[in-house]
Structure 1
Amino acid sequence: MTHINVLDPGASPLDYYGFELRRHREAAGLTQRQLGEIINYTGSLVGQIETARKLPTLEFSERVDAALGTGGLLSRLVQLVLRSQLPAWFQQTAELEARAIEVCTFQTHVVHGLLQTEAYVRAVLGAMHQQGLDDRTAVRLARQRILEKDVPPVLWAVISQAALLQEIGGPETMRGQLTHLLSFENDPQVNIQVLPFAAGAHAGLQGSYNLYRFANDPTIVYTEGYGSGHPTANPDTVKDCSLRYDHLQAAALSLKNSAELIRRVMEERYGEQRDVDGDPVA
Structure 2
Amino acid sequence: MSVENETADADLPVTPLAHFGREVRLERERLRLSREELGKKAHCGYSLVAKVEGGERVPRLEFAEACDQVFPHANGRFVRLWQLVLRSAFPPWFRKYVELEGVATHIRMFQCQLVPGLVQTEEYARAIMETGRLPNLDDLVTARMERQRILAREEPPKLWVILDEGVLRRTVGGVGVMKGQLERLRDLADTAPHVVQIIPENGKPYHGWSGSFALLSFNEGADVVHVDGFPRGYFLAEQDDVASATRAYDLLIATALPPNDSAPLINSILKESYS
- Is the Cα–Cα contact under 8 Å of residues 57 and 138 in structure 2 kept in the other structure? no
Give the corresponding residue for 1:96: 100
Structure 1 range deviating more: 158-167 or 66-75:
66-75
Match of 1:106 in 2: 110
Cα deviation, residue 260, structure 1: 0.7
Q: Partners in 2 of 1:145 and 1:72 — Cα distance?
A: 19
Counterpart-to-counterpart distance in 2, 1:23 and 1:180: 40
Which residue of 2 is the match for residue 235 of structure 1? 239
Q: 2:268 aligns with which of 234, 256, 264?
A: 264
- 1:205 maps to 2:189: no
- Structure 2 SS opposite 1:225: coil
Structure 2 letter corresponding to 1:212: L
Runs (5+) with no aligned partner, structure 2? 1-9
2:225 to 213, 221, 226: 221
Q: Verify the 8 A CA contact 2:158 2:193 in the aligned structure 1.
A: yes
Secondary structure of 1:17's match? helix
Letter in 1 for 2:59: P
Per the alignment, do residues 123 and 42 of structure 1 end up closer, same or farther by CA in structure 2, a change over 3 Å counting?
A: closer
Query: Alignment partner for residue 151 of structure 1, among 155, 159, 162?
Result: 155
What residue ranges of structure 1 are gaps of 5+ in the alignment? 272-282
Which residue number in structure 2 is paired with residue 276 of structure 1? none
Aligned residues: 265
Q: Which residue in the other structure is 2:59 paired with?
A: 56
Aligned amino acid, residue 217 of structure 2: R
> For residues 162-195 of structure 1, what are the alpha-carbon distances to aligned partners after superposition, in whole Å with 9 as ceiling and x for unaligned?
1011111111111110001112233223211111
2: distance between equivalents of 1:12 and 1:130?
Answer: 19
- Distance, in Å, in 2 between the alignment partners of 1:172 and 1:22 is 38
Percent identity, please: 35
Does residue 254 (structure 1) correspond to residue 222 (structure 2)? The answer is no
Write the distance in 2 (CA, Å) between the matches of 1:148 and 1:72: 21
The Cα offsets for residues 225-259 of structure 1, whole Å up to 9 and x where unpaired, read as 21211112011110000011111112111221011
One-letter amino acid matched to 1:7? L
What residue in structure 1 maps to residue 187 of structure 2? 183
**What is the TM-score of this pair, normalised by structure 2?**
0.86
In 1: Cα distance, 2:221 partner to 2:15 partner: 28
**Map of 1:7 onto structure 2:** 12
1:120-149: per-residue Cα shift (whole Å, max 9, x none)?
111111123263322221121111111122
Give TM-score scaled by structure 1 length: 0.84
Q: What are the Cα deviations for residues 16-69 of structure 1, in whole angstroms up to 9, with x where unaligned? A: 423443454355454545434544545564344234233222232233233236
Of the three residues 108, 118, 124, the one matched with 2:122 is 118
Instruction: State the distance in 2 between where 1:257 and 1:29 align.
Output: 58
C-alpha change, 1:33 and 1:265, in structure 2 (3 Å) is closer
Q: Secondary structure at the match of 1:135?
A: helix
Say yes or no: does 1:18 pair with 2:46.
Answer: no
Kindly provide the amino acid, as one letter, of the partner of residue 143 in structure 1: R
Amino acid at match of 1:13: P
Distance 1:15 1:207, change over 3 A: same
The 10-residue stretch of structure 1 (58-67 or 214-223) with the greater mean CA deviation from structure 2:
58-67
Contact 1:210 1:222 in 2 (8 A): yes
In structure 2, distance between residues paired with 1:140 and 1:35: 25
The Cα offsets for residues 59-85 of structure 1, whole Å up to 9 and x where unpaired, read as 322332332364554345434312311
The Cα RMSD (Å) is 2.4
